[in-house]
Structure 1
């Protein structure tokens, strides 16, 4: 009793027709009929009653159907499992990323993933948040780390929060004390260096100024935080950058000050949920879930967040 014969038997049972079963299995009808006849000889009784326009199961066929389906399901499960094992020995997945991931769990997760699955090649692709979302949607990226989009993606995209972040102002050293916040009104009267219009973070910044009815004078736009800092050093203007980025705090030529009211956003890990996951990405998500209890949780049980900005 071969799996292919059982596949033909189930197809005829479900289609009620040898012709439709042959089309479903992409074979000619005589091949289906020959296999079913051989199965009936092997089992010693007929499996179908041939009527004028259709075929129906005999009592023997009814008894065989659940066993045939179970055999096919078990074979499929075994095939999937070993395909997954092969994928983890030499597969790959592509992860799109925005900048400033040093303060997220991603580097530690990728390090542990490499130790567990050294044969999997992980490609890291840098881009802006909207471009990354497009890549996840069209399948060119398996997953992405980006600023959380404002639209509801729950039907097609799964997300996990990596970081609760906020915007800070970066000014030349000596021009302002680090404990003296800048209001949006003050920032609106200065030339600003910040992310380009293609960045998800730029949307949060623009919305905050618009909500206050304030202009936002962006004189230089770049998604490279290190370049933003270099322009601040050159006295081009004030940079508006993520508080999670380690670059401003590490540069003694600039000072990081809070912005009030706070401009808060999240960085998330997201992937498509409306199609099967590849083995490498599935293993990454499973590992993340396994390791989450070992990481100090935030208020909602996710990874610890970057410290929140002052209220205001």
Structure 2
């Protein structure tokens, strides 16, 4: 058994297809299939259940892949640590980011990181704060920018606070509240709302604020991306509550939107999060770029 066989098995497990796995590994399919078949003979078990239409992991395959991923990660980590000891940071860095990140300019941070560490392969993944925190715990994401309701903290990860922010009301330019100096939740509770999908941290920020005020609102439109939320608002289909630091630059470029401060509106905290396990050299390098001290080696 060798690491390359493990990489082939993991690639098939993730793509559920021998052809796509071979393409990912830059090898002909016959060679990949031959190496996996040899590994199965060595182990004395079938790792995959094959049919003409699909490939599925067997129970033995599920158990093998879990440990194979750990072995490959350890091997990659050994190479990265050896390179770091010689003064060169190599390896891979997976950065998670929520779509409403505003505490840092993510592209600018990645540009600075790349200038300092050009041999690190950086991958960017977008997602919900809870999903990204879970991905850090699993080891699928190295570091992430999160946003949570005030009072909540990322669980099971190391984290530092990047910024505190409050939401503003986003309305169409012709809305009756456009131009108001300030509103309260009770004044807008009867409005039709556009918001993120129920159950997400982004949605919880507003839900918790209304619940704390003893108010119920009507969320008629749910969306997973801010662009759709603001387009619906601009069409007059509803109003929205969004983090001020994120939405102000967008609203300044969109004459169809108006922003109104909310006296008792939702508040959120932006965090930088990473694994509680000692960070990789590539992760430590990103923490250094971000000016975060005290990460365990």
Q: Which runs of 5+ in 1 are unaligned?
A: 1-77, 292-312
**Aligned counterparts of 2:106 and 2:162: Cα–Cα separation in 1:** 8
Matched, 1:268 2:279: no
Contact 2:101–2:146 at 8 Å: present in 1 too? no
Within 5 Å, give how 1:274-285 maps onto structure 2: 275-285=277-287
**TM-score (structure 1 length as normaliser):** 0.61
Q: Secondary structure at the match of 1:237?
A: coil
**Aligned counterparts of 1:102 and 1:264: Cα–Cα separation in 2:** 14
Q: CA deviation at 1:112?
A: 1.1
Shift of the 89–137 alpha-carbon distance from structure 1 to 2, 3 Å rule, reads closer
Instruction: Report the counterpart of residue 200 of structure 1 in structure 2.
Output: 201
**Aligned counterparts of 1:244 and 1:197: Cα–Cα separation in 2:** 22
Instruction: Report the counterpart of residue 34 of structure 2 in structure 1.
Output: none
Greater alpha carbon shift after TM alignment, 124-133 vs 239-248: 239-248
Contact 1:94–1:142 at 8 Å: present in 2 too? yes
Structure possessing the higher radius of gyration over alpha carbons: 1
Instruction: Report the counterpart of residue 250 of structure 1 in structure 2.
Output: 253
Q: CA deviation at 1:88?
A: 4.9
Contact 2:148–2:205 at 8 Å: present in 1 too? no
Instruction: Report the counterpart of residue 128 of structure 1 in structure 2.
Output: 128
Instruction: Report the counterpart of residue 159 of structure 2 in structure 1.
Output: 159
Q: Secondary structure at the match of 1:244?
A: helix
Q: CA deviation at 1:86?
A: 7.5
**Aligned counterparts of 2:153 and 2:112: Cα–Cα separation in 1:** 31
Q: Secondary structure at the match of 2:125?
A: strand
Contact 1:101–1:107 at 8 Å: present in 2 too? no
Q: CA deviation at 1:136?
A: 1.0
**TM-score (structure 2 length as normaliser):** 0.64
Instruction: Report the counterpart of residue 225 of structure 1 in structure 2.
Output: 226
Contact 2:234–2:257 at 8 Å: present in 1 too? yes
Contact 1:143–1:270 at 8 Å: present in 2 too? yes
Within 5 Å, give how 1:1-312 maps onto structure 2: 82-84=82-84, 88-102=88-102, 104-148=104-148, 150-151=151-152, 156-175=156-175, 176-245=177-246, 246-273=249-276, 275-289=277-291
**Aligned counterparts of 1:180 and 1:253: Cα–Cα separation in 2:** 18
**Aligned counterparts of 1:251 and 1:267: Cα–Cα separation in 2:** 25
Q: Which runs of 5+ in 2 are unaligned?
A: 1-77
Shift of the 248–223 alpha-carbon distance from structure 1 to 2, 3 Å rule, reads farther
Instruction: Report the counterpart of residue 10 of structure 1 in structure 2.
Output: none
CA shift digits 1:270-296 (9 cap, x unpaired): 0112x22111011111232279xxxxx
**Aligned counterparts of 1:141 and 1:87: Cα–Cα separation in 2:** 24
Q: Secondary structure at the match of 1:256?
A: strand
Q: Secondary structure at the match of 1:125?
A: strand
Contact 1:147–1:265 at 8 Å: present in 2 too? yes
Q: CA deviation at 1:230?
A: 0.5
CA shift digits 1:20-76 (9 cap, x unpaired): xxxxxxxxxxxxxxxxxxxxxxxxxxxxxxxxxxxxxxxxxxxxxxxxxxxxxxxxx
Q: CA deviation at 1:169?
A: 0.9
